[in-house]
């Protein structure tokens, strides 16, 4: 297990690119695998999660060529049964979306991942896929990975997931591409719309209304896509530059679409000085004094991955911040209500959970030894908190950061030395 030691100090200055958006990266790889012809993708996330999906589409027959500049050419459309278990690594998005796509393929596949993936709930995708007629099962009669999928013979369904989840919506819609009629998902609350937007962009027949998406069976056509920077990674620099005195950071080319920039609204409400340029995608952030706020349950799907680092902003704010309706955090890469409480507590900040509300009291952060629990976002959130602590912080399990942002520590060094 690797460790990162972060000394406090700053300021952070300069500009930085974050990895390509992870949610979009998974989806464009899957669409390229389904499209009959060659698709061209630039700016794909370099995180391990997305590398796992890339490897999986190769194992089922997509042919790929990666140029020196990172441009990927993928020839899809001739998919076949994999020769081995498909390993999604740490990726919940990977396993749930791929389960949907593979449920439509006329062959058998087995999807597995790391210890965290084996703990995460898969009933949320196994139930609708079984309703569509897929022969899908979890490990040893359970609803957990590894998942075995005998694909093909799907019927279109109308499905109303019990949780607001873009992964579940995406799973059902990807399966719907191979069904015998239209498939509809009715969402309990709006979630990120990448699946339906990318379907439209690649010529798949979709009808999207607020809270309701229908897809007709079909295949995407080959496409070109430039993946923009991941807002959930930009959020680490947005919080870091807000809390470290005298900082000024520009995160370049951050995704501008709907449903992903809720953290910008929350930070602005807290008093942060940040601006997301709609023309360039550049997110400019300057240090500011923050105040506590209430993050409503209706906002959570639009910032669900950013809550660990927003909790750090709350720790540095005056007064109390409440994150309402955050029960889903219990079933992410770690139990993030427990792991946020634990690392902030170790650093001297009272954080507690009241039912499905996370409450963080602003205060003075102390240097400490914290455990990431193999959760990339906990490790990076702790690194941001460490910048304003009163002594060094040691973060255990730093290697997990490679899941989504392999260059995070280098980018931190670059911003601390004021370069770009």
**Binding range to ligand S3P, per CB under 6 A, among 3-11, 164-172, 309-317, 395-403:** 164-172
**Looking only at residues 261 through 320 of this chain, which bind ligand S3P when binding is defined by CB under 6 A?**
304-305
Shortest gap between Cβ of 92 and ligand S3P (angstroms)? 6
Residue showing tokens 């999906």: 53
Beta carbons of 227 and 24 less than 8 angstroms apart: yes
Determine if 191 is a binding residue for ligand S3P (CB under 6 A): yes
Determine if 93 is a binding residue for ligand S3P (CB under 6 A): yes
Phi, psi (deg, nearest 5) at residue 168: -70, -45
When the beta carbons of 165 and 293 are compared against ligand S3P, the nearer one is 165
Q: Could you tell me how far CA 353 lies from the centroid of its own chain?
A: 23
Q: Is 305 a catalytic site residue?
A: yes
Beta carbons of 21 and 404 less than 8 angstroms apart: no
Determine if 44 is a binding residue for ligand S3P (CB under 6 A): no
Shortest gap between Cβ of 106 and ligand S3P (angstroms)? 26
| CA distance linking residue 282 with residue 419, whole number of Å | 17
Q: Structure tokens of 58?
A: 């190769």
| Number of residue whose CB is nearest ligand S3P | 23
**DSSP H or E stretch at residue 394:** strand 393-396
**Looking only at residues 49 through 68 of this chain, which bind ligand S3P when binding is defined by CB under 6 A?**
none
Determine if 165 is a binding residue for ligand S3P (CB under 6 A): yes
Among 202, 230, 213, residue whose Cα is nearest residue 33: 202
**Binding range to ligand S3P, per CB under 6 A, among 159-167, 200-208, 355-363, 368-376:** 159-167
**Binding range to ligand S3P, per CB under 6 A, among 33-41, 71-79, 103-111, 165-173:** 165-173
When the beta carbons of 93 and 393 are compared against ligand S3P, the nearer one is 93
By rule CB under 6 A, what count of residues binds ligand S3P?
A: 11
Residue showing tokens 């209706």: 298
Given candidates 11, 12, 20, 23, which one binds ligand S3P under the rule CB under 6 A?
Answer: 23
Phi, psi (deg, nearest 5) at residue 348: 90, 10
Looking at 21, 305, 396, 411, which residue is catalytic?
Answer: 305
What does each C-alpha distance from 261 to 232, 265, 324, 326, 338 come to in angstroms?
Answer: 8, 7, 18, 17, 25
Determine if 328 is a binding residue for ligand S3P (CB under 6 A): yes
**DSSP H or E stretch at residue 207:** strand 206-209
Binding stretches for ligand S3P (CB under 6 A): 23, 93, 165-167, 170, 191-192, 304-305, 328
């Amino acid at each position: 297990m690797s460790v990162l030691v972060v000394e406090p100090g700053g300021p952070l200055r300069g500009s930085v690119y974050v990895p390509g958006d992870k949610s979009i990266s998974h989806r464009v790889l899957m669409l390229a695998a389904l499209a009959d012809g060659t698709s061209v993708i630039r700016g794909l996330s370099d995180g391990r999660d997305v590398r796992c999906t890339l490897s999986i589409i190769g194992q089922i027959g997509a042919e790929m060529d990666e140029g020196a500049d990172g441009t990927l050419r993928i020839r899809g459309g001739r998919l076949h049964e994999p020769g081995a278990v498909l390993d999604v690594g740490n990726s919940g998005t990977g396993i749930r979306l791929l389960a949907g796509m593979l449920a439509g393929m006329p062959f058998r596949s087995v999807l597995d991942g790391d210890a965290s993936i084996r703990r995460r709930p898969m009933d949320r995708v196994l139930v609708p896929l079984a309703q569509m007629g897929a022969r899908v099962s979890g490990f040893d009669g359970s609803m957990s990975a590894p998942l075995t999928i005998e694909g093909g013979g799907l019927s279109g369904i109308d499905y109303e997931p019990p949780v607001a989840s873009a992964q579940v919506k995406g799973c059902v819609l990807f399966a719907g591409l191979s069904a015998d009629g239209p498939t509809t998902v009715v969402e309990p609350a709006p979630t990120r719309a990448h699946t339906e937007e990318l379907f439209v962009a690649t010529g798949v027949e979709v009808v999207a209304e607020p809270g309701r998406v229908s897809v007709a069976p079909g295949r995407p056509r080959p496409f070109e896509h430039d993946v923009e920077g991941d807002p959930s990674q930009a959020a680490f620099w947005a919080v870091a530059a807000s809390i470290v005195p005298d900082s000024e950071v520009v995160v370049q080319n951050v995704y501008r679409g709907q449903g992903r920039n809720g953290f910008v609204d929350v930070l602005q409400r807290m008093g942060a000085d940040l601006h997301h340029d709609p023309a360039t995608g550049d997110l400019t952030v300057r240090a500011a004094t923050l105040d506590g706020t209430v993050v409503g349950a209706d906002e959570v799907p639009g910032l669900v991955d950013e809550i660990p680092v927003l909790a750090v902003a709350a720790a540095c704010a005056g007064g109390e911040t409440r994150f309402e309706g955050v029960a889903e955090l219990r079933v992410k890469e770690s139990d993030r209500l427990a792991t946020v409480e634990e690392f902030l507590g170790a650093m001297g900040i009272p954080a507690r959970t009241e039912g499905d509300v996370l409450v963080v009291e602003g205060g003075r952060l102390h240097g400490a030894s914290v455990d990431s629990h193999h959760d990339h976002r906990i490790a990076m959130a702790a690194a941001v908190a460490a910048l304003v602590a009163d002594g060094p912080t040691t973060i255990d399990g730093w290697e997990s950061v490679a899941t989504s942002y392999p260059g995070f520590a280098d980018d931190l060094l670059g911003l601390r030395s004021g370069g770009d």
